[in-house]
Amino acid sequence: MGKRINAFTDDALGTMDATALAEAIATKKISVKEVTEAAIARAEKVNPTLGAIAIKMYDDARNNDKLNHDGPFYGVPTFVKDNDFIKGYPVQKGTGAFVSKVAKKNSKYVNQFFSSGVNCIGKTTMPEFGFICSTENEKWHITRNPWNTDYTTGGSSSGSAAMVASGVVPIATANDGAGSTRIPASCCGLVGLKPTRKRLFYMEGTETLPVNIVYQGVLTRSVRDTAAFYAAAEKFHYNSRLPRIGHVQNPLNRKLKIAFFENLPEGKQGHMDEDTFRVQLETAKLLESLGHTVEMIKVPLDIESLTLHYLTYYGFLSYMSINFGRLTHGAAVDKSVLEPFTLGLAETFAKRKTKLLSSISTLVRSAKATEDKLEKDYDIIMTAVTTKRTPEIGYFSPLLDYKEIAWRGADFASFLPLFNISGSPAISLPLGTASNDMPVGVQFVAPFGQDALLLELALQLEAAQQWKYIYDK
């Protein structure tokens, strides 16, 4: 039977979020050395069970003299997901199918993240190339959920979620191509914002994609930490074509009209289980108690028809990863080592490659039409993050048949990829608990560029209903 893994203890980190920790460092109540050693000790204690660390960077963290003293998180320990470049370290991307070269420099996003003042102590685990929403490869890593080790963390930002939720660090990087920030946020009781397209620097190698569906971000335990990060990121690099976020510190002070999906979508995909829909209804009542208008509407799109198009595009990404490894990874890929799902995705694309442009066009049109329709009548869209409560380890095993995993993943994340295509900001908030005592997230989506509105709403909800932490009894 699984157990809860709680790294929180009476050390320099305590139960502080990144903001409180940085304040304690700034006022010299604790030192950077103390919090670094505390985080390393916590990591060493829980990682043998959680399997969340891909690469340890402890010595570099202990001797890091290049931290940004002016950042809001000066000295705060962190992790970076292992599909991003950190100078002096490999980028393995959750696979053993190639041998990564050591990165010669940080990626643009890593520099943007480091500008907040964080001190990186390692890189975190992920599934192979980030294609499955759980990290369960027995040869490399099985990453377990600290709320109950029998369950998945979700993915693909699996290791980062485990490290933040368990209390090893208060913030870590994540990225999201079809829910890879929002899914682990929901499964692990965290805050996970997928920002507006081009709000942050892209992940290396994705700039030239026909439609960039991969978004950088962070996982945190508090809304204020997420807000502070985006304020710092904006100071480092601001996209002048988007509305500024600024430093969102105050809860929403106006009433919104919010739509959420009823549990009767057409077809087999998108049906929520009892726990998940119950949390949706409870959140709707909470919103109404805050003065917002909430309306239940029919799911405004054909989920299943869009799934095939999305798998075609994801298959294209897999095909490129496999067959052009020297361009995408800097090393040749050994196909004999690849997981069945990775190969299955590539084979799906090989059969449908003449339909790639048509699939992309359909996805873009559908996303825009759906959002245009909803935005005429509503300020915010509310959906489930995952349609089902957090599954046990094995449900997304990479050893399963490709079609089975594809169907399970598409059903589990039915309401997420659309907003990767549209580019609109979407946030997962830990607003409920399932009957198996696992966290349940709720997704809120705002119009393109309105990240600040999401953060204001998130602050309001956090104040109205303080969510549970892993150390709560």
Q: Is 33 a catalytic residue?
A: no
Beta strands in 371-424 (DSSP E): 380-384
Residue 159 near residue 173 (C-beta atoms within 8 A): no
Whole-number pLDDT of residue 331: 85
Q: Is 361 a catalytic residue?
A: no
Catalytic residue among 107, 156, 186, 428: 156
240 in any annotated domain: yes
In a domain, 9, yes or no: no
Of 180, 222, 397, 428, the active-site residue reads 180
Asked if residue 471 is part of any domain, the answer here is no
| pTM across the whole model | 0.97
Query: Is 6 within a domain?
Result: no
pLDDT, residue 104, reads 95
pLDDT at 285: 98
Residue spans of the chain under pLDDT 70: 473
453, containing H or E segment = helix 451-464
Directed axis angle between helix 402-412 and helix 303-323, to 10°?
Answer: 130
Looking at residue 210, its pLDDT comes to: 87
In terms of residues, how long is the chain? 473
Residues 335 and 97: their CA atoms lie apart, in Å, by: 7
Asked if residue 1 belongs to a domain, the reply is no
Range of the domain at 137: 18-464
Q: CA-based Rg of the chain, rounded to a whole angstrom?
A: 20
For the chain, how many structural domains are there in total?
Answer: 1
For tokens 């203890």, the residue is: 9
For residue 373, the model assigns a pLDDT of: 86
Two tokens, residue 289 = 């108690």
Domain annotation covers residue 394: yes
Angle at which helices 18-26 and 32-50 cross, to 10°: 150
Q: Give me 413's structure tokens.
A: 């994340």
Answer yes or no: 156 catalytic.
yes
Distance CA 178, CA 213 (A): 7
State how far Cα 245 lies from the chain centre. 20
Give 142's strand partners.
Answer: 136
Structural domain contains residue 5: no
Predicted local confidence at residue 290, as pLDDT: 98
Q: Identify the three-state secondary structure at position 124.
A: strand
Considering only CA atoms, which of 286, 299, 8 is closest in space to residue 169? 8
| Residue 51 contacts residue 142 (beta carbons within 8 Å) | yes
The burial of 448, by beta-carbon neighbours within 10 Å (0-12 exposed, 13-18 middle, 19 or more buried), is given as: middle
Judge whether 400 lies within some domain: yes
Number of C-beta neighbours around residue 434 at 10 A = 17
Q: What is the CATH number of the domain that holds 276?
A: 3.90.1300.10
Looking at residue 204, what is its pLDDT? 82
Catalytic residue, chosen from 81, 123, 194, 388, is 81
